[in-house]
Structure 1
Amino acid sequence: MSPNLVGALLMMASMACFVVSDAVLKLTGGAVPLFQLLFLRGLISCVLILVTKGRLGALHFDIARRDWVLIMIRAVTEAMIAYFFLTALFNMPLANLTAILQCVPLTVTLASSIFLREAVGWRRMVAIAVGFVGVLMIVKPGADGFNVWSLYAVIAMLGVTFRDLITRKLSPSVPSMTVTLVTALTVLIAAGLASLTEPWVAVDPAVGLLIAASAVLVLGGYFFSIHVMRIGDVSFIAPFRYTGLVWALLLGFVFFGEWPGWMTLTGAGIVVGTGIFTLYRERKLAGG
């Protein structure tokens, strides 16, 4: 297989792992309180990262003070994202939530222009504006389809945007796995403290298996996403991230009987289309 084909398969595998992980957590059906759930998944993730040290990527802590500050800001942001994302996940269709998250390439491009002073041409600005129209079609503000969980999804999407901006500011020498471990530990500690405010429940073996599977799938998604950046042409591979929406539609229908209405599907199509165009323009300009 060509490097581009291998890269595309790795990207699709990464997106499949992340979306299946979300679906697996949703299958727990709220049997475990949210903060206890976050704590248990975080604990398993941390153990797996330490056990697989060196296999998923370099792991060391000889990092400049500036980068440590950025890593901690990013980790705290991730804890906030986890709360809003999982709350939305348990209360709205998987495909709707995933579709809203597909807006991240657009919001990162816009935020980079505003806060990092990166040049963004008029074509990409128009694409961003059109993409936001697609998001409005998904969340349906002012209509019966809008609720607080849609707002939670949007907050999670904005959190991911801020997290990605922070990530861009990290020095290239900072190991990705170190950032992942610190993030997982921060979410673990935050969830553990928050879980003290609510009673813990006994975890059924089946639910425990789902939580463990989610942790493994998240690390699988991260593993594939690391390797996808090391092979093939990024401009060819990047659009395959939107296959996550296909997975969300299929899993939502098969396991939860969810199928979005025509307005949500149209909005998702607009978001994906404008996102692909934005990625194309960025790669074209980067290539000169």
Structure 2
Amino acid sequence: MRPARGILLIVLAVTVFSVMSAFVKAAGRVPAGEAVFFRSACALPIILIWLAMRGDLRHGLHTQNYRGHIYRSVAGTLAMGLGFAGLKFLPLPEVTALRFITPIMIVIFAAILLGERIRMVRLAAVLAGLVGVLIILWPRFDAGFAGAGQRELIGAGMVLASAGFAAFAQIAIKRMAGVEKTAAIVFFFSMTSMVLSLFSLPFGWVWPVGMEWFYLIGAGVVGGIGQILLTSSYRFSDAGTLAPFTYVSMIWSLLIGYFAFGEVPTWAMLAGAALIILSGVAIVLRERQLGIARTATRNVTKPR
């Protein structure tokens, strides 16, 4: 394990993902489904080249769990599409902050779907994260359910749904862990999301013009690079060590939102985001502590 290299890679990954989100937001006229297509199609050649360089192109794409890949890919595609749609209604930092609720939803869904127990520490973290979401959304409720306020609430609902589907995707990956190779998970997701995005074609794709081509192709290229960096980071460090560094994306979202789109963060958004981040870090640290305890128990009870 080389944790320093893993941390560097995860920081680079969330940085380029922030740039990807900015590109999608900049191509505001382009529908979310079309943006998903460009994100997946333009990332696929980069991923294939990366797999070939690793020697995983032939053996890494073999799978015996097509159903698991379908569940993960459908959930991941919906998460991506709804997240892209939310960018058209809300400021970039607010979208990023609301997406941070994904680890909290993973805890909730894991309890429902996998029967995992939620003890006091994680329960408190979940409740704190939900309070953070309410703090962020409270000004939207005050704005009312008409006009701009309605649009913003719709956007917030899309982003929260995106976080929910992302949690489902992570649980599906967790079920496939140790059975399916990472290369297969990455490839099948990119391929499936590209195909699924075509179903949105009848709902009004547009022909990109001018800089929109650059934004859409750029989103795919940097998205593919980010996926490779993210996957590679876990080769050098464990998920518990890397997870807190994913919140660096909040800093980039604030900077990009302010300088590129003139989005000034509100105190409610900053306070809610801080609470969600703290609750997410608490969940990650607790999961890591429980993992160490389970490993120690297995080592003690292991027959010699």
With normalisation by structure 1, the TM-score equals 0.90
Counterpart of 1:21 in structure 2 is 20
Map of 1:216 onto structure 2: 221
What displacement does 1:56 show? 6.0
> Segments of 4+ in structure 1 off by > 4 A?
none
Q: Which residue of 2 aligns with 1:63?
A: 63
Greater alpha carbon shift after TM alignment, 270-279 vs 140-149: 140-149
Q: 1:155 aligns with which of 149, 153, 161?
A: 161
Distance change in 2, residues 1:57/1:75 (3 Å): farther
Report what 1:282 is aligned to.
Answer: 287
CA shift in 2, pair 1:171/1:4, >3 Å: closer
Deviation string, structure 1 residues 177-223 (Cα, Å, up to 9, x no partner): 3222222222222222321443542432x322222221121122111
Where in structure 2 are the equivalents of 1:1-288 lying within 5 Å? Answer: 3-30=2-29, 32-55=30-53, 58-59=56-57, 60-64=60-64, 67-140=65-138, 142-144=141-143, 147-198=153-204, 200-204=206-210, 206-232=211-237, 234-288=239-293
Residue identity matched to 1:63: T
Deviations 1:250-281 (A, max 9, x none): 11111011122111100000011111111111
Partner Cα distance (1:176, 1:89) in 2: 29
> Residues 30-82 of structure 1: CA distance to partner in whole angstroms, max 9, x if unpaired?
2x343333323322122222233333673434322xx2101012212222222
Structure 1 239/202 Cα, relative in aligned 2: closer, same or farther at 3 Å? closer
Deviations 1:77-114 (A, max 9, x none): 22222221111112210000000111111111222122
Are residues 230 and 50 of structure 1, via their aligned partners in 2, closer, same or farther at CA, if it must alter by over 3 Å?
closer
Counterpart contact for 1:131–1:274, Cα < 8 Å: yes
Q: Partner letter of residue 89 of structure 1?
A: L
What's the C-alpha RMSD, in Å, of the aligned pairs? 2.1
Residue type of the alignment partner of 1:95: P
Q: Hey, what's the Cα distance between the residues in 2 that align with 1:111 and 1:56? A: 34
| Alpha carbons 1:33, 1:201 under 8 Å: kept | no
Q: Do the aligned residues in 1 keep the contact of 2:47 with 2:187 (CA within 8 Å)?
A: yes
* Number of equivalent positions: 283
- The separation in 2 between residues aligned to 1:5 and 1:219, in whole angstroms, is 22
Structure 2 length-normalised TM: 0.86
The AA in structure 2 aligned to 1:43 is A
Identity across matched positions, percent = 23
Question: Which structure 1 segments of 5+ residues have no match?
Answer: none
In structure 1, C-alpha distance between the alignment counterparts of 2:275 and 2:169, rounded to whole Å: 24
